[in-house]
Homo-oligomer: A and B are copies of this chain.
Amino acid sequence: MTAADWPAGPDRAARIRRALVELVAEHGLYGAVMSAVAKRAGVGTGTAYVYYPSKEALLLDAYREVKLAIGAAAMAGVDPGAAPADRFRKIWTAVYRHLAADPARARFLVQVDHSPLAAQAHELALAGDQDPLVAAAGSADLRPLLADLELELLYDLGLAPAVRLAASRPGLPDHELEAVAGACWRAITHG
């Protein structure tokens, strides 16, 4: 490895997670083969197993990382004093823009969310929580506005469309974003 290569790779685990995310986005959960993940990360096959005990553990950790980044992006720049509807729109568009800038993450997320790993992944993501909807739904001024539906359902109708949209159409113009965000807000609130 020369100086032109990665700078002695400060975080190999991060590169491995990133490679997994990209390959899952490109070839699906099955198509993302460990040897290919390692190759794209620029490490040997066995190195992945130095950092993770199994492919599943790697998948779950990559999921957690992506979710965490979304949570941070969603919450950055949200004014806690703003009206609930405005806060929601800010969060929604922040999620979309964050993922649209990196569609591989969006596609990765969508695939994991609809796979049998979803249950474990959600549980794990909620544990250390930073999930934007969970945090937002907890606030006292928002909760009475929300329809009486399970959190999972609120997520599916409210924020998940931003994720799927970023996965399939990363280049929507602002006015369409606002329109869809507004529709999602109406979907999760009463009447």
* B-binding residues in A (CB < 8 A): 27-31, 110-111, 113-116, 147, 149-150, 152-153, 156-157, 161, 164-165, 168-169, 176, 179-180, 183-184, 186-188, 190-191
Are B168 and A161 within 8 A (Cβ)? no
A-B pairs, top 8 by smallest CB distance, nearest first, are A183-B187, A28-B116, A114-B114, A30-B30, A186-B186, A110-B114, A183-B186, A28-B115
Are A169 and B150 within 8 A (Cβ)? yes
Residues of B within 8 A of A191 (CB): 179
Contact among B111, B114, B176, B190 for A149, CB-based, below 8 A: B176
Residues of B within 8 A of A179 (CB): 147, 190-191
Kindly state the separation between the CA atoms of A184 and B156 in the bound complex, as whole angstroms: 12
Q: Closest residue of chain B to A28, judged by CB?
A: B116
In the assembled complex, the CB of A9 is this many whole angstroms from the nearest CB of chain B, namely: 30
Kindly state the separation between the CA atoms of A190 and B178 in the bound complex, as whole angstroms: 12
Are A161 and B169 within 8 A (Cβ)? no
Q: Closest residue of chain B to A152, judged by CB?
A: B168
Kindly state the separation between the CA atoms of A115 and B156 in the bound complex, as whole angstroms: 18
Residues of B within 8 A of A153 (CB): 165, 168-169
Are A180 and B169 within 8 A (Cβ)? no
Kindly state the separation between the CA atoms of A164 and B29 in the bound complex, as whole angstroms: 20
